Amino acid sequence: AAAFSARAETASALRFELAIDSMPTEFQVPSEVSKEMAKRVVANALGGSRKLFQYCNENTHAEAFKQLLVLESERLWCRSMNAIDFRAAGALTGGGGFEKSEHPSPRQTRGNSARGVAHNGTASTSQRGGLNTHTSVTGGGVAFAAALEKFAFVTALTKPEAVTCLSLLRTLNLSLTDKKRAFDVLGVTAGKTAQQRPFTLDQFIEHQRRHASEVAGFVKNEWRSGVKNAVVQSFQECGKGHYNLCEKNRDAFEFSKMKRFLKRAQTQMEDALRSLTETSVAEFSVFMTDAMRADGITIASTNNLTVEWVDGSEKSKGQGVTLPGGQDNRISNQNLPPLFRFEMTLDQGGAPVVDKYGKHGKVPPSFLYTVDLNLFVDSILSLFDFGAGITTGVKTLDPAVMKHLHWTFWPDCASVSAGDPLVLGARENLQNVLQGATALLREYLTKYAEYVPLLRLNVSEETSRLRERRTGEDEDARLGSYLESIDHHELCLREILERVPHEIHVGCFLIDASKVRQTLVQKRETLIEKTKGLIAEAPRKICDTINKQFTKLLTRLELQRDTPEAIQAFRDLGETVPRFCVEQMLVFDEARPFYDALRAALKNLSDEDNAAKATAQFWPAKIRHALRVQTESALQEALKFEEDQLGAQEIFESTTRELIERVDELSELSDMSLTTEFAKRVEQLDAELRNATQHAVVFNRREGVFGKKATDYSNIRATRDAFDPFHKFWTYARDWQVNRTSWWNTPFYGLDATHMDATVSDAFKVMFKMGKAFTTRKLPLQVKNCESIRNELEAFQKYVPLCLALRSPGMRQRHWERISSETGLNVPGTEESTSTEPSTNTEEEVQVTSVFSLETLVETGAFETHTQDKMFKVSEVAGKEYAIEQAIDKMVSEWDGIVLEVVEYRETETCVIRVDEAITQALDDHIVMTQAMSFSPFKKPFEAKILEWERTLGMTSEVLDEWLVFQRAWMYLEPIFGSDDIIEQLPLEGKRFAAVDRTWRKTLLRAKSTPGVLTMCDDRNLLEQFRDANRVLDGVQKGLAEYLETKRLAFARFFFLSNDELLQILSQTKNPLAVQPHLRKCFEAISSLDFEDDLTIVAMNSAEGEKVPFAERMKPKGAVEVWLGEVERVMKKSCRHSVVESLVDYLQRPRVEWVTHWPAMTVLGVSATHWTSSTETAIVGKSLTPWYNENVAQLDALTDMVRGKLPGQHRKNLGAL
């Protein structure tokens, strides 16, 4: 029995081992398991010997043995896993049945963990069957046949077709995971694509997306179709049963092994897709991490980068990403070209911008990359997301294989989601790497900040400034300044050529800076050329001036000489030519240093400049030649003119004798009846004498040209003196006769009495003088004629005063009517008053038609004494009234052209008026003048006009006064209530001012359209509006003053500020920097505060530039009076803190260094404190002599510091010490 039992157990054990050996080992063994097993075997074999361990690492045969150990370990692991599964599936319980297990088998746990398969998968038969895993096949009776039957019922591997299909599936899956990747890492590293490196961002993204799309298409089409075909081809001959491909019954399919097999195939497909995604993501992450390493790269300047790679396994391991399977798949990029190519360019700026304080400006020029760095990071991350998601949307096999079943939907295979920890970790790592790489690019870009001023520089403006700055200098200083500017620009150009590269490697980027370099070089070269052009301007101007001067001289030398005077002018000009040439050549010498400088600077002159230079140099020779030619021509011309003048002088002497004879004949003329004929005769003779006098002057001048003695023509002057009395007598006599007839017969209303008075007075004086002259010459007839005319003039003079009175411009119709009423004479003063009327006579009635003239007036007896006096009185009244009338008309006419000057006021979109002082002065003068007229006894005809004019001027004056008061108040309050901060704090006053502001704007709009002073200001309604507005503004100002008083009470130092200064602060409460200009008034010795970019206050500064850091950083929060009070508190605290810290530092730092390290008052106070303390100690310790010597040494040290170079503030501090 024992032998039989032993035989049965042995047979059962052999069958068990055979079953285990026959089971497939298609699953993948975790690498850490096999390596760990091999490691333990080797360690046990070496016995812990370090030498043997080192020998094994260096020996190739030992390494091959290690690999064999790994393979053997994998085989043993697979066999153990199969044994566990077989035991779990076929072991019998004590009762001969199977019990369900609540726990998965060990293989399930390890396998699923190793391959990442979920526990609800079908990777092991023990889970699918739910069998007891605690039953052992050893011991007791073993029903192997029952176990085998049960195992065969639950396993899908009972048919060769299933094993064959699994083998095909494994081949397809391994091919996918081994050959395909979502990202073409290998291609851009070692393939043909790598030859295109560096890539632009678009090229890299396009290539990777195209590759990922191809892989996605392969997975969803070729690979999935291959898996489907493998299943169909493997089971198409099975027919009905568990593997029936033509099954139409859903329940039969759900219970069949085909269902479990397809589930297993789906799990393997999902495992392959996950492996593909994990491997692709990990490789891409490793590749990008290695390619974009930024650690160890130090950017010193635009062309100076140092790279210190940190090698070692720990560093590499820290930067790398471990792939599935444990191997490190880092692909080295260090020996390859840069991965990306970026181009650097310029942003010219100029766009309008408003800063955080509301100040308007323009965006300054700057350097930037053609690819936005944030966009670069987003694009790479988007590419990563795209590649990580290529395995989504792969359809399962069930509907494709079981075509005879009805499927309501076609599910997708499970894939790696975007929220998978591995994907998230890789993406986060990639994002950090990209941000580090772009931070390096940004750092490199900051190195170009030193060239931003060059970008901002406007070449034209810089050239103009250089030209204007040197305008007042002498030529040498100007040339020196230009050369200094050229040297500076050339030095900067060399620095650009040395320091700005065409291309530079910055990490994984190849930065193309050629455009930036070209632009900077071109700008410097342009500045150099423009400055050289300035050098060329000076000699060009000099040569142009010289050429113009010589051209003018040559033109004057070559002028046509058609008179002897022209020949004399030519001779005078020729005498100045030698000196002129010397002066111009001295001027040309001033241009030589400029030409030498241009030659040294290798600057070629333009064709125009060369021509101007050559022309200027050869002008003297050209002028001397022209002078010789023109001198010879002038000599010939002078001889010809001399001959012509001799003939002309002979004719002139004959003419002169004839004139003398004709003048002598005038003494015989005495017939007054022929006055008109004699007057024409003497006038003709006067013209001939004038012409003869001019000819005499010309002949004498030309004789000087010819070098001859001047001919004596004094007889012409004597003849002229003898002729003058006759000429005056006969012309005045004729004029008297003509005028007397005209005055006597001309209508009285057309009589020019003023002209009459002047003519009669002048003629009387002339006749008196001529009478004396004729008496001297003993011409009695002429004397008699003079007396006759003088008597006539004297007789006529008695009519002149009354004519002047009656023909004054002030005579009006009322005056003529008054004359008629007082004298009984009807004197028509105007043309309209002259009429044809019947004259009534007591004896007869005669119709008279005549013109009322002076003769008529005389005949009426108007010049009798009593009548004449009455007329004079009326004329006097008319004159006074006329003066008033003229004054009023003049005032009115003056105001017609006076307008208000309406000008735009700042940025308020409205205007203000400017009233010139002359307007107010004229207004005051006219008011006084009008008031004086109102008291005149002669005002009656114009009384209404005077009163109306006085009212107009008074209204205008009042309106202007109120307007100016209104304007001053509005201009003061407008910027205050233009601030939103003030409006929020004074809402009532703000509303009142807004109403007044609307009135102001309407009024000024009207004034702009009708700016006449009288037209605009003669308006009582406008006066009332202004008075109302001024009353409102007075209330607003009162409320504003009360508001300011509350602010001053809240912060007492505001009492040191005027209302305007305080309002300037309060109107900008959101801008703490607005207090800066007023700090020196609020705080003694404080000039400004130091604000950081976030407006944190960190220090205070004195006017001398001394800085005291704040002991407590603070931000200006709340109302301005609140945070200024806080500033005052921190100021005191900072001064106290400075003193305390300085007391300690005095004992730790050398005194010569200590005095320059602390503020002045701190130094003085702490120094005095320590001196007092040390002096007391020396007195107590009776060591005054050493203490004295120490003081002397300290003073000597301070003296040495003062003698050296010190900043001004430190020197003041030491002076106080």
Q: What's residue 60's pLDDT?
A: 66
* Burial (Cβ within 10 Å: 0-12, 13-18, ≥19) of residue 475: middle
CB-CB neighbours of 106 under 10 Å: 16
Q: What are phi and psi of 80, to 5 degrees?
A: -65, -40
Mode of pairing for the β-strands spanning 503-506 and 304-307: unpaired
| Of 544, 552, 541, 543, residue with least CA distance to 576 | 552
* 406, 292 Cβ separation under 8 angstroms: no
Q: How confident is the model at residue 1012 (pLDDT cuts 50, 70, 90)?
A: confident
Would you state the structure tokens that stand for residue 993, as one six-digit string?
């001012």
Three-state secondary structure call for residue 299: strand
User: In this structure, are strands 911-914 and 901-904 parallel, antiparallel, or unpaired?
Assistant: antiparallel
pLDDT higher than threshold 80 for residue 47: no
Average pLDDT over residues 666-682: 88
| Amino acid of residue 468 | E
pLDDT of residue 114: 35
Least confident of 4-8, 38-42, 235-239: 38-42
Token reading at 590: 């001033």
Report the pLDDT value the prediction gives residue 190, as an integer from 0 to 100. Answer: 62
Give residue for tokens 């941000």.
Answer: 435
pLDDT at 1024 (0 to 100): 93
Summarize the confidence of residues 133-142 as an average pLDDT: 40
User: Average pLDDT in the 144-171 region?
Assistant: 75
CA angle 573, 575, 577 (to 5 degrees): 75
At residue 499 the predicted structure's pLDDT band, cuts being 50, 70 and 90, is confident
Report the distance separating Cα 539 and Cα 1088, nearest Å: 51
Q: Is 174 helix (H, G, I), strand (E, B) or coil?
A: helix
The angle that helices 224-235 and 257-291 make with each other, rounded to 10 degrees, is 150
Report whether 751 contacts 743 (CB < 8 A): yes
From first CA to last CA, the distance across the chain in angstroms is 123
C-alpha to C-alpha distance for 780 and 336, rounded to whole angstroms = 137
> Is 33's pLDDT higher than 70?
no
pLDDT by residue (tens digit) across 886-913? Answer: 888 889 898 988 888 999 888 888 899 9
- How would DSSP label each residue in 1183-1205? -HHHHHHHHHHHHHHHHHHHHS-
- Cα(1132)–Cα(1137) distance, rounded to whole angstroms? 8
pLDDT of 130: 34
Distance between CA 928 and CA 921 in Å, rounded? 11
Across 16-25, average pLDDT: 77
pLDDT of residue 311: 47
Which residue matches tokens 């891409």?
284
Residue 322 has a pLDDT of 35
Instruction: Give 361's strand partners.
Output: 353
In this model, does residue 841 exceed pLDDT 50?
A: no
What distance in Å separates the CA atoms of residue 361 and residue 367, rounded to the nearest whole number?
19
Handedness of CA 873, 879, 885, 888 (dihedral sign): negative
* DSSP 8-state class, residue 919: H
Of the chain, the percentage scoring pLDDT greater than 90 comes to 9
pLDDT tens, residue by residue, 310-359: 543 333 333 333 333 333 333 334 455 788 888 988 887 767 766 555 56
Predicted confidence band of residue 933 (pLDDT cuts 50, 70, 90): confident
Query: Residue 127: pLDDT band by 50, 70, 90 thresholds?
Result: very low
Does 107 score more than 70 pLDDT? no
Contact yes or no for 1156/1210 (Cβ under 8 A): yes
Per residue, what are the HEC states of 952-972?
A: HHHHHHHHHHHHHHHHHHHHH
Give the whole-angstrom CA distance, residue 1076 versus residue 1088: 6
pLDDT for position 954: 92
Task: Name the residue among 1119, 1112, 1080, 1117 with its Cα closest to residue 1098.
Answer: 1112
For the CA atoms of 516, 522, 528, 534, the dihedral, rounded to the nearest 10 degrees, stands at: -130
Nearest to 1062 by CA among 1076, 1044, 1050, 1077: 1044
Say whether pLDDT at 1132 is over 60.
yes
Distance of alpha carbon 1162 from alpha carbon 1172, whole angstroms: 15
User: Predicted confidence band at 1 (pLDDT cuts at 50, 70, 90)?
Assistant: low
Q: 1108 has which bridge partners?
A: 1100
Q: What is the mean pLDDT of residues 512-528?
A: 89
For the chain, give the mean pLDDT: 80
| Mean pLDDT value across residues 1082-1098 | 87
Q: Is the pLDDT of residue 122 over 60?
A: no
The predicted pLDDT at position 451 comes to 86
Predicted local distance difference test score (pLDDT) of residue 143: 59
- Mean pLDDT, range 403-432, rounded to an integer: 84
The alpha carbon of 190 is separated from its chain's Cα centroid by a whole number of angstroms, namely: 50
CA distances from 192 to 60, 173, 216, 387 (A): 34, 27, 22, 21
Res 103: pLDDT: 34
The strand ranges marked E within 577-644 are: none
Question: What pLDDT, in 10s, does the model give residues 175-207?
Answer: 888 888 888 887 777 655 556 678 888 888 898
Which stretches does DSSP call E strand in 216-314? 297-301, 304-307
Across the range 96-118, mean pLDDT stands at 35
**Strands 297-301 vs 304-307: parallel, antiparallel or unpaired:** antiparallel
pLDDT at 110 exceeding the cut of 60: no
Distance, in Å, from the CA atom of 546 to the CA atom of 554, rounded to the nearest integer, reads: 12
User: Which pair of structure tokens corresponds to residue 115?
Assistant: 């391959």
Q: What is the pLDDT of residue 28?
A: 53
Give the per-residue pLDDT at 53.
64
